[in-house]
Amino acid sequence: MALLEIEGLHVEVEGKEILKGIDLVIEPGEVHAIMGPNGSGKSTLSYVLSGREGYEVTAGSIRFDGHDLLEMEADERAVAGIFLAFQYPVELPGVSGMTFLKEAVNARRKAAGEGDIDAMAFLKLVRAKAKGLGITDEMLKRAVNVGFSGGEKKRNEILHMAVLEPKLCVLDETDSGLDIDALKVVSDGVNALRDPARSMLVITHYQRLLNHIEPDKVHVLARGRIRRTGGKELALELEQKGYADFVEAA
Amino acid sequence: MTTDTNTLPLVAGEDPAVLAAGAPDWLAALRRAAIARYDAIGLPGPRTEAWKFTGLNAVKALTPVPAEGVPATELPPAVAALDGPRIEIVNGRLSALPAMPTGVEVVALDDPAAAPEWVRAHLGSIASFETHPFTALNTAQLAGGVAVRIARGAMPEAPIVLSVAQAGGGETATIAHPRVLVVVEEGGSADLVTVFQGSGRYIANPVTEIAVAEGARLGHAVLQAEDAEAFHVSMTALKLAEKSTYDGFVLATGSKLARHEVRAELDGEHIEYAINGVYLGADGQHHDITTFIDHARPHGTSHEMVKGVLTGTARGVFQGKILVRPDAQKTDGFQMNRALLLSRDAEVNSKPELEIYADDVKCSHGATVGELEDDELFYLMARGIPRGRARALLVEAYVQEAIALIGRAPVRDAFAAVASEWLDRHVAGVSGSGE
């Protein structure tokens, strides 16, 4: 059974149609990349999947791991296994990184009928995951994303992903604003999470991220629809030719 | 019909004229002047600018009797756990006075006639009653309370807790006029935690006068946790000398209607003054925080961050005025008032004022009123945290950010615990009421 099935999805934002009929099927363990020019609807797709308010689905359906996703609140989707790595991670003044992650972990445990995680076990878990991403104890104690550099924020997103172990990782322009060193750290972190039971949807404008996170399939999203689907070589082709063909072909 | 004239004296208990008759000259003169002033200005009405957001009709409707008996109150556990001496004022009078650390002197004002020189030098000279009827009333009734002196260079380690409690009535309200004088002498440094509490219906009208001498420091955290049936109108008046520091904070959680007013005269160079605070209002509570900062001399710094959280039909009022006199060059003033409205029926009035007569100063002020940020809420929910819990976490963080401004760690921790406890009762699990 497919992990994610999107059928005929139409989405409006403030009365304007952004997604105009998306069909997409992702099997467990697959990594799909969605590439496209700015304004093509890439981020909209990530928000619709994660349940952000303000995105009105006017037609179509999304099934995720046996759930009708559109009937679920954002927190229920997260607990069911959808994870969005934000393009612009939000700063939470006054909420420490550890408190935030512990709340997220305990929300999952509660849904599974388990008690809160043991404080020592939690610390050990987070430290183990943080180490590979170069995230220090000091960063974990600080308020979430407050005063973090762009690279630190993206690494922090991957830490959340590693700790929460989702079934579907949606990476929204995770490479934006990163230098090559940070890009490698982030990509290594993502690759470490590749698993036959875990799927990924990598949204990006540029091919460079896909040198590090190798996709099984590449889709071109333009003007609200998937215009072409291919293997990883499609990304290379786009890198050379750009999106002109898709933007202009009205 | 309500008028601006004195329709309800609120004068209960001893007749001020009688009181004045038996007092020494200096005190009798002070009381007579105060009652005369009170008679002249009366209680504020709707046309009184300083009180336009805080109506007093409910107070004026009362015919209070003097507070007596034992209030059913207990200090919040986190405050009770503070490791310091505890002075207790009940119904306006000193009721418990433990042994004080070296360098700290406490005298009861029950017999102001016997007051030492340091009391006479300051009592009634810091809190002006010229334009403030409640201060005039308190001064006219001046017969109880305490004076605390931190001697020159003394630095008691543990915070001194001053518990001010009042027994209210059922049908009939009570009234009390607690008076506190704090004098920190040259180079002294202390921390004071004042807690206002009570039970039943009552009007609490406390006045606190604080003098901080050259190079001295006072950390002063006030918890206003009066009964939900109570009216609280308080004045804290400060006079600060050169190179002194005042680190002030107010956490207001109690009362049906409360006004917490703080007036500070920065009468020396290089003074560091802070008056930060948080008010938490639920149901029909009314919180008013009114402050006046008078920068009279150069190189003064003032920091004011006041945050409010309002649910239900609660109302918040912030009035903050900063005056920078011509001589107060190089003043650095920061003022910010934020309010978080968690329900559609909550309301806030914010009136920041800057009045600057010096040309080389740095002053900023601002005010924000709003709901929780959607993108913050979504970020938490996208990690699996349910909406109600996400809201509670964000509100808690918002409040604790202000409480973090309290300088002394044990006091900060105690106030953080008190605020958390309030938020647990009033915000946690309240989901979507503002959506």
**CATH number, domain containing residue A232:** 3.40.50.300
Alpha-carbon separation of residue B304 from A73, B95, B195, B292, B366 (angstroms): 39, 34, 21, 11, 11
pLDDT score, position B4: 40
Amino acid at B351: K
Using an 8 Å CB-CB cutoff, list chain A residues near B375.
90
Residues 6 or more apart whose Cβ sits within 8 Å of residue A71: none
Neighbouring C-beta atoms of residue A233, cutoff 10 Å: 9
Phi, psi for B349 (deg, rounded to 5): -120, 125
Helices of type H across B133-267: 133-140
**Angle between helix A97-111 and A119-132 (nearest 10):** 120
Which amino acid does the sequence have at A66? Answer: G
Q: Do A100 and B380 touch (CB under 8 A)?
A: yes
Burial A131-170 (b: 16+ CB within 10 A, else e): eebebeeebbebbbbeebeebbbbbbbbbbbbbbbbbbbb
What is the sign, positive or negative, of the torsion defined by CA atoms of A155, A160, A163, A169? negative
- The DSSP output letter for B13 is S
A93/B378 CB distance under 8 A? no
For B104-147, the pLDDT digits (tens) are 999 998 777 778 999 999 999 999 999 999 999 999 888 788 99
Q: What's the confidence (pLDDT) of residue B2? A: 39
Amino acid at site A97: G
- pLDDT tens readout for residues B225-272: 999 999 999 999 999 999 999 999 999 999 999 999 999 999 999 999
Low-confidence ranges of chain B (pLDDT < 70): 1-22, 429-435
Q: Decide if B156 contacts B103 (C-beta within 8 A).
A: yes
Burial class (CB in 10 A: 0-12, 13-18, 19+), A250: exposed
pLDDT at B79: 97
For residue B113, what pLDDT is reported? Answer: 73
Closest CA of chain A from B373, distance in Å: 10
Report the DSSP beta bridge partners of residue B182. B148, B210
- Name which of A64, A65, A70 is nearest A51 in CA terms: A70
Which among B163, B137, B159, B141 is positioned nearest to B150, based on CA atoms? B159
Q: Kindly report the nearest CA distance between residue A184 and chain B, in angstroms.
A: 24
For A114-123, what is the mean pLDDT?
95
Identify which of B271, B272, B239, B234 has the alpha carbon closest to the alpha carbon of residue B250.
B234
Distance from the Cα of B102 to chain A's closest Cα (Å) equals 38
Among A51, A86, A107, whose Cβ lies nearest the Cβ of B385?
A107
pLDDT band at residue A160 using 50, 70 and 90 as cut-offs = very high
Q: Which two tokens stand for residue B1?
A: 């019909």
Q: Give this complex's ipTM.
A: 0.96
Residue A133 predicted with pLDDT over 60: yes
Q: Under DSSP, is residue B423 helix (H, G, I), strand (E, B) or coil?
A: helix
Reading phi first (left if > 0) and then psi (alpha if -120 to 50, else beta), residue B215 is in left
CB contact under 8 A, A94 and B376: no
Element (H, E) at A240: helix A233-241
- Structure tokens belonging to residue B425: 């009762």
DSSP strand E in chain A: where?
4-13, 16-26, 31-35, 56-64, 67-68, 82-85, 92-96, 143-144, 168-172, 199-204, 217-222, 225-230
Instruction: Kindly provide the b/e burial profile for residues B138-152, where b requires at least 16 CB atoms within 10 angstroms of the residue's own CB.
Output: bbbbbbbbbbbbbbe
Question: How far is A86 from chain B, CA to nearest CA, in Å?
Answer: 9
Q: What is the pLDDT of residue B435?
A: 32
Q: How many domains does chain A have?
A: 1
Cα angle B285-B145-B92, degrees, rounded to a multiple of 5: 45
Spans of all domains in chain B: 16-426
pLDDT at A245: 82
Tens-digit pLDDT profile for residues A7-44: 999 999 999 999 999 999 999 999 999 999 888 999 99
Q: Which chain A residues contact residue B432 at CB under 8 A? A: none
Q: For residue A201, what are the domain limits?
A: 4-248
How many other C-beta atoms are found inside a 10 Å radius of the C-beta of residue B60?
16
At B129, phi and psi to the nearest 5?
-105, 10
Contacts of A74 in chain B (CB under 8 A): 378, 381-382
Which helix (H) or strand (E) element contains residue B353? strand B347-356
**What is the pLDDT, as a whole number, of residue B31?**
87
